Amino acid sequence: MLTALRGGHGDAPDALRIDGHAMSRERLLAAATAAADRFAGASAVAVLARPTAATVTAVVGGLLAGVPVVPLPPDAGPKERDHILRDSGAALLAVGPGEQVPDGVTIPAVPVDPAARSATTHPEPEPGATALVLYTSGTTGAPKGAVVSRRAVAADLDALAAAWAWTAEDTLVHGLPLFHVHGLVLGVLGALRTGSRLVHTGRPTPAAYAAAGGTLYFGVPTVWSRVAADEAAARSLAGARLLVSGSAPLPVPVFERLQALSGQRPIERYGMTETLITVSTRADGERRPGSVGIPVEGVRTRLLGEDGTPLPHDGESVGELQVRGATLFDGYLGRPDADAQSWTDDGWFRTGDVAVVGADGFHRIVGRASVDLIKSGGFKIGAGEVEAALRDHPAVSDAAVVGAPDTDLGQAVVAYVVTDGAVTGDQLSAFVADRLSVHKRPRRVVLVDELPRNAMGKVLKKQLLTES
């Protein structure tokens, strides 16, 4: 699965640089093999996934040993951490040198040293073997473990390499968390499959991105917003080949400012923990603001209405996005009930997201069906469309729209908006009504200092709904 570790792509002392720690691929392989020697035979190994060389060594060690790897968010609270460890059946916890084992953890801790070396040869696991158990955000209850096979990871990385013209000649730069698909699967395993050099900046600051000298950059909208606000940092990316944004919609003003300062039109892509990345703009295709592009190789999508009938690809019809293909997970660990709810009888995965598809196949994600498809006064309104209109106002820096219960309308459009203070809620509501249909205007606008977000930059809309 990690073909670059086996040679053929060349090597360098700093083929991987993780928060200032440089490693060659040969050194990583030797250290990861030493970790694999200790993990071999375990049911699963949890990795305290801090942005360190030890974390990368531990993840690769688990994959070499054929042991499912369970990335553990380092900032997880005791309840979430205990649930993940118990639910995954992890027998070991990998920790870096000098790292403290969290209080209350009872499984054996295994120190992983990036300086260790072993020449043991571990047999290559079957392609269908579990590579990772990735836990969802748990917005509808306790987090569920998505079982992701080696085959799915390889298929997705190859599809993205084709879509993004990603090769061993690239230098990938990012500073994303290593317990999510974006930062770990794409941002680490991708470099170890394509052979590209990897620079993980530790924290994804504009200054760190500017200094990295990459050709390929990954970021979430929060990262790109901060880069765009730092003119010198944004201009320094002019020599890059590709800026990739994901995990949440990239605001159009940020897209446009990045283009103006760096000359780069960012690429957006779409995926989930359960599906990996399924839809993306291509490096050699149109880069359209607000669009996530077309399905990657090996993936198909379809759009269904509430009655289960297919919807036209007309750029207007809003429906549930369903996907199938080689990148999908094998199911939720120990949760046949969740599997039954998530898959259709004919084998399609219900993403829970609502989308619009144009006649040219370009996909635009409206949002989550549970919080982003608002049914108000008999109309169906996509929250993302209203948010984009609000962000067009020069005084607005961020916005989130939800459907709050309303006795008259069923749901009322409520907007939470971050502004510079030079505009009122009524003015913003009128601003939207001038640009969209009147029924899409916010019935209430709440001015806030900031929006609640998770580690990947996604707005916690259910938290906003409890406040509506």
- 387-441 pLDDT, tens digit each: 888 998 999 999 999 998 888 788 899 999 999 888 999 999 999 988 887 888 9
How far apart (Å, rounded) are the C-alpha atoms in residues 73 and 454? 12
Flag the least confident range among 150-154, 383-387, 427-431.
383-387
How far apart (Å, rounded) are the C-alpha atoms in residues 69 and 350? 25
Q: What average pLDDT is seen over the chain?
A: 92
pLDDT of residue 141: 62
Greatest alpha-carbon span in the chain: 70
Res 377 pLDDT > 80: no
- pTM of the prediction? 0.84
Res 140 pLDDT > 60: no
Res. 192 pLDDT band, cuts 50 70 90: very high
What is the domain-level CATH number for residue 389?
A: 3.30.300.30
Res. 253 pLDDT band, cuts 50 70 90: confident
pLDDT of residue 447: 95
Does any domain span residue 117?
Answer: yes
pLDDT digits (tens, 9 = 90+) for 406-416: 887 888 999 99
Contact 444, 412 (CB under 8 A): yes
pLDDT of residue 111: 95
Higher pLDDT, 277 or 388: 277
- The pLDDT of 109-116, averaged and rounded, is 96
- Final residue before a domain boundary, out of 184, 199, 225: 184
Does any domain span residue 193?
Answer: no
Q: What is the DSSP letter of 453?
A: B
Ramachandran area for residue 20 (φ above 0: left; ψ -120 to 50: alpha; else beta): left
How far apart (Å, rounded) are the C-alpha atoms in residues 441 and 412? 10
Res 130 pLDDT > 90: yes
Does any domain span residue 206?
Answer: no
Does any domain span residue 194?
Answer: no
Does any domain span residue 349?
Answer: no
Residue 250 tokens read as: 């990239």
The angle subtended at Cα 347 by Cα 345 and Cα 350, nearest 5°, is 90
- The pLDDT of 163-168, averaged and rounded, is 97
Flag the least confident range among 271-275, 324-328, 409-413.
409-413
Res. 382 pLDDT band, cuts 50 70 90: confident
How far apart (Å, rounded) are the C-alpha atoms in residues 315 and 239? 34
One-letter identity of residue 219: G
pLDDT digits (tens, 9 = 90+) for 30-70: 999 999 999 999 999 999 999 999 999 999 999 999 999 99
Res 139 pLDDT > 60: no
- Final residue before a domain boundary, out of 184, 199, 229: 184
Enclosing domain of residue 50: 3-184
Helices (H), 165-212: 190-194, 206-212
pLDDT of residue 457: 72
CA 218 to mean position of chain CA atoms:
10
Please give the tally of structural domains in the chain. 2
- The pLDDT of 357-380, averaged and rounded, is 83
- Final residue before a domain boundary, out of 184, 202, 217: 184
pLDDT of residue 216: 98
Residue 296 tokens read as: 């990657």
Within 13 A of 76's CA, how many CA atoms are on the CB side?
Answer: 29
pLDDT digits (tens, 9 = 90+) for 278-287: 999 999 999 9
- The pLDDT of 187-194, averaged and rounded, is 97
Does any domain span residue 424?
Answer: yes
Does any domain span residue 14?
Answer: yes
Contact 255, 289 (CB under 8 A): yes
What is the domain-level CATH number for residue 121?
A: 3.40.50.12780
pLDDT of residue 57: 98
Does any domain span residue 166?
Answer: yes
pLDDT of residue 159: 98
pLDDT digits (tens, 9 = 90+) for 435-462: 887 888 999 999 999 999 876 677 888 8
pLDDT of residue 379: 72
